[in-house]
Amino acid sequence: MTMFANGESVIWHRWRDSAGKDEYGEPLPGGYSSVDLGGVGFAPESTEEDSPDRRVTSSAKLYVSGSSIPYGPKDQFTVRGERYAVDGRSQGGWVNPFTGVNHGQEIKLVRVTGGDRG
């Protein structure tokens, strides 16, 4: 799936709560499946360090053109070798009020490293 002509490649890790049912009808545990997305816009935003815990929080945004992708709150994205979690809901479907063109979707991301995250 390609979005923007000059965008970059990211991996979308889609979470599934269940992977179907076993032979007894019980739900199988969920997990991630990966989808390659090409031509995605990426904008790193900010990095903050919590000095006492030495925890670093980085935020970023992905820009996906055209119709939105159905990501969920447990989904994750790998961008430039770093794995980010989804942070909130989409800010997109940007539709131009003059032309009616859908310009895409904004996906907020967050990454927390170091410190005691537990």
pLDDT of residue 11: 96
**27-32 long-range contacts, CB within 8 A, separation 24+:** 32/76
Q: Give the start-to-end residue ranges of the domains of the chain.
A: 8-20+27-113
Per-residue pLDDT tens for 12-31? 999 988 777 888 988 888 88
Per-residue pLDDT tens for 29-69? 888 999 999 989 999 998 888 877 788 999 999 988 766 68
Using a cut of 0.85, tell me whether the model's pTM lies above it. Answer: no
